[in-house]
Amino acid sequence: MSYRKTRQPFLVPLALVWLCVCAPMSAQSASNSGQAASGAVDAAGHQWWQNAVFYEIYPRSFADSNNDGIGDLPGITSKLDYLRQLGVDAIWITPCFPSPQVDFGYDVSDYENIDPTYGTLADFARMQSTARSKDIRIILDFVMNHTSDQHPWFIDSRSSRTSQHRDWYIWRDGRGPGQPPNNWESGFGGSAWQFDPRTSQYYYHFFYPQQPDLNWRNPAVKDAMFGVTRWWYERGVAGFRLDAVGALFEDPNLHDNPVLPGKNAFGDPNMKNKYNENLPEVHGVLQGLRQVADKYNAVLIGETWTGTVEQLREFYGPHGNELQMPMNFFLMGINKLSPPEIRKGIAEAEAVGGWPVYVLNNHDRPRSYDRYGDGVHNDAIAKVMAGLYLTLRGTPIMYYGEEIGMQNNDPKSRAEVKDPIGKTGWPKEKGRDGERTPMQWDDSPNAGFTKGTPWLPIPASYKTHNVASEQKDPNSILVFYERLLALRHTNGALLDGDYVPLNENDPHVISYLRRYKDDAVLVAINMSAAPQKVSFSLAAKGISSPTSKTLLTTMNDKPGEAKLSGMTLAPFSVYIGEVAAGQSVAK
């Protein structure tokens, strides 16, 4: 098995691959936080983030306003109309704070500012107010497990064993000369301990040595970090995506982790992160963060790589008082068009019991265009996957470029690699550059991303897969996304309906109802390269209508009706139709 197919997210050792209190806001915070203040719910009692479509932006790669080859905040601001037209309600911007950029922003040296590469606080304010005028909310990335080694807290911490911030990080003596305190490994290769000769102790880092872990057992760390979220809420931020939540706590007794057979892509022994991942103490912190968030009607999204339904459930909190949106990554682990596996994944997501959050792509995993594509029908397959995850119950988080069928563009040699793990792990681990390439806006040089030299190379496919060309083509992936998102924003069953699986033994076609009161929508997706005949008996579900009214399909069918007793689905196609027609439906 190739590593790219099995690459585990960085917080899963073994895992399967895989209200609002509405506390009255102070006058100042209400006015400063703009849209974040809206606590309105819809007829089904859903809050804004349940009806919203989220979109992840890797700021380095979205749009470059000053032609230095790197995307920036004014670039994002200039594309907000595009996002509105697409049907995006909230953008999650991966870290744009001051940073040495060792991990491209996930090494923060100042939590309350903007990295000059991306702009200024004034640029942030402009982006925020422009977004607000277009009804788009801003979500920032909260890198809470670790800081940069250039953060003033760490600079002070490492300066002496008695410094003010010494206990803000995790310092320990080695087991003996040249021996780290225990066998824990960094998710990015090598020991998780770095010896610092200045004070002759080791500090702990789950990721790169330049990303020392904060000591969340120290209340001063908690206070400072909670304060950071408040600072941004006051500037209109509508929530945070919490980075690496599972890594927040470690066993204070530093027990060795169990070693497993085999080696990983970095050549280190495989290991079960029993003592340094998903420790129960994380939940207390999340409950505290949620109390702060609730004061601003803000949403917390978790980078929650979990192995089981139970683990994921825990991140919602015992009383729904932790994360509103812990991400479910099951689609990241199923890389084939397999209705049985996908059905099982959806069933597990539903079994969690909370509001699901689906993710098909992100900046850490190869793009879905290549993961699912067969090399021949990739565009049709991209629509199939969109038709699936954008019609499920829950909130989707898109990743920039998936809507135009951007492909992965992995480095061709180690010398080209920018992401440090690609250098350490080459050739098994090529790093994450391939999924982070510039957004393809048009077919001009550099895909209209920059007039300078783009920081990562753009694949030749930008000539056909770009926003400008696809906007003109009614059969493009982009136009399908636009129509699909418009439908999900206006259709009550798609917004609020239950998920009811149908024809559960069909090996080729995944189909289900989304049902809310008297409204029901039928979704049928052919995941095979051959036409498939399907029929649906919905009488037992209280639907006696023999036909379905077509709402959207990738088959060039004219709008009209389809017979439920015998429908032919073209290869790799999506059909979405209305079936309830006002008749009352029973479960």
- The DSSP element (H or E) to which 153 belongs, if any, is helix 152-157
- Residue of 72, 243, 433, 470 marked active site: 243
| Cβ atoms of residues 394 and 49 within 8 Å | no
Cβ(581)–Cβ(536) below 8 Å: no
The yes-or-no answer on residue 303 being catalytic is yes
Note whether 92 binds ligand NOJ by CB under 6 A. no
Question: Which of 22, 168, 103, 75 lies closest to 433, judged by CA?
Answer: 103
Query: For ligand NOJ, which residue of 106, 111, 153, 316 counts as binding (CB under 6 A)?
Result: 106
68 binds, among Ca ion, ligand NOJ, none (CB under 5 to 8 A by kind): Ca ion
Tell me whether residue 578 is one of the annotated catalytic residues: no
Which residue in 303, 410, 419, 496 is the catalytic one?
303
The least CB distance from residue 51 to ligand NOJ, in Å, is: 25
103 makes contact with ligand NOJ (CB under 6 A): yes
Among 110, 196, 251, 364, binds ligand NOJ (CB under 6 A): 364
Q: How far is the CB of 451 from Ca ion (least distance, A)?
A: 10
Q: Is 54 in the site for ligand NOJ (CB under 6 A)?
A: no
Q: Does 348 bind Ca ion (CB under 5 A)?
A: no
Nearest to 145 by CA among 197, 204, 87: 204
E strand or H helix at 289: helix 282-294
Which residues lie closer than 8 Å to 551 by C-beta, 6 or more apart? Answer: 487, 491, 521, 576, 577, 578
Q: Which is nearer to ligand NOJ, 115 or 243 (CB)?
A: 243
Distance CA 573, CA 570 (A): 6
Which residue, 206 or 480, is less far from ligand NOJ as judged by CB? 206
| Member of 4, 7, 8, 10 binding ligand NOJ (CB under 6 A) | 10
Q: Does 207 bind ligand NOJ (CB under 6 A)?
A: yes
For ligand NOJ, the closer CB: 56 or 519: 56
Which of 12/143 has CB closer to ligand NOJ?
143
| Residue 388 φ then ψ, to 5° | -75, -65
Neighbours of 198 (CB within 10 A): 10
| Residue whose CB is less far from ligand NOJ, 106 or 203 | 106
CB of 114 to ligand NOJ, least distance (A): 18
Nearest-angstrom CA–CA distance, 384 and 388: 6
Nearest Cα neighbor of 282 from 239, 324, 250 is 250
* Cα–Cα nearest to 105, from 232, 211, 226, 231: 211
Smallest separation (angstroms) from ligand NOJ to the CB of 104: 7
Torsion, Cα of 568, 569, 570, 574 (10° steps): 160
Amino acid of residue 103: D
Residue with Cβ nearer Ca ion (308 or 444): 444
End-to-end CA distance of the chain: 42
Residue whose CB is nearest to Ca ion in the complex, by number: 72
Binding string to ligand NOJ for residues 236 to 255, with x set by CB under 6 A, is what? Answer: -------xx-----------
Interaction with Ca ion in 61-80: which residues (CB under 5 A)? 64, 66, 68, 70, 72
> Rounded to an integer, what distance in angstroms lies between the CA atom of residue 391 and that of residue 372?
18
- Residues at the site binding ligand NOJ, with contacts judged by CB under 6 A: 10, 103, 106, 143, 207, 243-244, 303, 363-364
Q: Which residues are catalytic?
A: 243, 303
- Residues at the site binding Ca ion, with contacts judged by CB under 5 A: 64, 66, 68, 70, 72
